[in-house]
Amino acid sequence: MDIDEFNYKTLRKIQQIEEKTPALSKINPELYINFSDYIKILNLRFKNEINEQRKIILKNEINNTKKIIKNIYEQREKKILIAIMTKVRGGEPNLKNLVNTEKILFESILEIVIRQRQQIMDKKVIKNDLVNDNKTNIKKVEKKVKNENNKIFLVRDNIPEFIGTDARKYNLRKDDLITIPKNTSELLLNKRVVKEIKKN
């Protein structure tokens, strides 16, 4: 995009497109450079303008332009952060419309998030806390089902929502402690997504 064609109307159009699209919209690779150059041009016009009425108009244009530029960037920044979390959690976000400066932002934050997650999840203290929490939860569940025949199971991985043989809806997450009917438990055991917790 030629900087001579870059104006308030152009910026509003870019802003509106970004607002309407859930993914990053396609922008000119030089857009952020054009942002900076356009503000410089407006400031220069303001500085050289001698008509006070025209200076007021230019000042308002500069302020409104900065607000729109900030809004466009923040919308794209939010989408980039969502894409990072999608990537970290095993998804495949749409990154085709990232420009070079945004790719640098994406990759640098992604690296930090991955490294931090690894450091936290690898700590033995967290593993020990999970074990202790499970022991406490097991006692609570055992007390709840002491007069029932259902067994206690530890969920080994996140399981998509499903309907059990008892016609109940289940939405199980990793490390949940559950009691479920025999037919449903056998199905989950066969798939190795739960394991039985032996009562003492």
Q: Where are the chain's structural domains?
A: 3-121, 130-197
C-alpha distances in Å from residue 170, one per residue of 54, 59, 97, 174, 179 = 66, 59, 38, 13, 11
pLDDT reported for residue 81: 94
Tell me if 3-121 shares its fold with 130-197: no
**pLDDT tens series, the chain, 200 aa:** 455 567 888 899 999 999 999 899 999 888 888 888 889 999 999 999 999 999 999 999 999 999 999 999 999 999 999 999 998 888 889 999 999 889 999 999 988 888 887 777 665 444 554 545 555 554 554 454 444 445 777 888 787 777 766 667 777 777 777 777 777 777 778 778 788 776 55
- List Cβ neighbours of 154 (8 Å cut-off, separation of 6 or more): 134, 175, 176, 177, 194, 195, 197
Structure tokens at 177: 């402690």
pLDDT reported for residue 157: 79
Q: What is the DSSP string of 17-37?
A: HHHH-SSPPP--TTHHHHHHH
Q: What is the CATH number of domain 130-197?
A: 3.40.5.50
- Name the CATH topology of 3-121: Methane Monooxygenase Hydroxylase; Chain G, domain 1 (1.20.58)
Q: From CA 162, how far away is CA 195, in angstroms rounded? A: 18
**Long-range contacts, 139-148 (Cβ 8 Å, 24+):** 141/177, 141/178, 141/179, 142/199, 144/179, 145/179, 148/179
Helix (H) or strand (E) holding 154: strand 152-155
